[in-house]
Amino acid sequence: MEKRASALDTLRSLGVPHIETELEEETMADATSGKPTVLVTRRLPDAVHDRLMRDYDARLNPEDRLYTKDALIRAAEGADAILPCHTEHFTEEVFASLPKSVRIIANFSVGYDHVDVAAAKKHGVVVTNTPEVLSDATAETTILLMLGAARRAGEGERLVRSGGWKDWSPAFMVGRAVTGKRLGILGMGRVGQAVADLARAFRMEIHYHNRARLSPDKEQGAVWHDSLNDMLPHCDFLSLHCNVTEETRGIMNAARFALLPDGAVLVNAARGAVVDDDALVDALESGKLFAAGIDAYNNEPNVDKRLIALDNTFLLPHVGSANRETRDAMGFRALDNLDAFFAGREPGDRVA
């Protein structure tokens, strides 16, 4: 108890965001209850907080302040687990500095490129993610990006709000059709397949590149290409849904943009790191791309100012999974992994 009280005093003096005066007595009581201590790095949905407070000694962040690397390490003192989002980066340096008490990183995200999994294994820390539960939400956002970019929705919305809309004309705000066009999908996993399902409602012809060909029941008539370069000339629209790996980082570069048909539309609801920003800006400025719909960026939230300045970009602030049902499900999935781990079972979504 004295050690726990000392840790709370230290963290309070450092301004670590999870320390809440009204919760200190409850937290101190939990320290003697045998409940594992979980550091929660961001504000999560209320239903997820309720379950955390019921089952764990939860160190919450109700003000949703971002942790610096050093503050994260200090805040983890005495914690058994960390429940982070993609906004926290777990490098070799961080793993080497984390308290030895931390045994599991239960991510509130399906992507885990913010975690050095090799370092996690080296330091004996289990890592999990939250697959499946956000596929439909991300697919919905992909269709929103596709339509928004093709139909110049960002330009139109800004025009109405600014009072700049003066008249109607047959030549006014002319975009590109989506219905009946060819859609290429890079990465035909759960999200890619959900996007294909929705795109079929627009009678789109589906092409895809994946590490392996899908079974016919999952393929549903989509055309498989065993190389990305072979698929790109067939893409009026290209939607990115691959993980970030050494092979996929910057995979959409100048040479690959050049393979797309003139006037294609790029959609990225995956990760910014799969796109070379210089090549993307060049393709948008030259007209090689008609437009791009983007929800994930390099160095976010510091979006490349060149993308912001272009009229032919439809930009969202990384909200692919942002609906209430999905965010609750993501939190519960992360907690299911924690529950399994602390019960001595293998977490269902272990990635390291």
- Alpha-carbon span 209 to 27, nearest angstrom: 50
Candidates 182, 271, 327, 333; catalytic one:
271
Whether 318 is catalytic is yes
Cβ atoms of 351 and 126 within 8 Å: the answer is no
Query: What's the one-letter identity of residue 131?
Result: P
Number of helices (H) and strands (E) in the chain: give both, helices first: 15, 12
CA torsion sign for 120, 241, 141, 145 is: positive
pLDDT at 6: 44
Candidates 114, 152, 318, 327; catalytic one:
318
What distance, in Å, lies between the first and last C-alpha atoms of the chain?
A: 32
According to DSSP, residue 116 is labeled -
pLDDT at 176: 98
Q: Which residue, among 159, 177, 176, has the nearest Cα to 168 in the 3D structure?
A: 159
pLDDT at 1: 43
pLDDT tens-place string over residues 3-23: 444 445 545 544 554 444 433
pLDDT at 3: 40
Residue where the block lists tokens 């290209």: 238
Candidates 300, 306, 324, 346; catalytic one:
300
Query: What's the one-letter identity of residue 234?
Result: H
Distances from the Cα of 38 to the Cαs of 56, 63, 338, in angstroms?
7, 17, 9
What average pLDDT does the chain have?
A: 93
What mean pLDDT is predicted for residues 307-335? 98
pLDDT at 247: 95
pLDDT tens-place string over residues 59-93: 999 999 999 999 999 999 999 999 999 999 999 99
According to DSSP, residue 207 is labeled E
- Domains with residue ranges and CATH for the chain: 2-133+325-342 (3.40.50.720), 135-315 (3.40.50.720)
What mean pLDDT is predicted for residues 219-228? 98
Give the least confident one: 6-15, 65-74, 149-158, 313-322: 6-15
Q: What percent of the chain has pLDDT over 90?
A: 90
pLDDT at 23: 39
Distances from the Cα of 273 to the Cαs of 82, 163, 188, 279, 333, in angstroms?
25, 36, 18, 13, 26
Confidence of residue 253 (pLDDT cuts 50, 70, 90): very high
pLDDT tens-place string over residues 112-147: 999 999 999 999 999 999 999 999 999 999 999 999
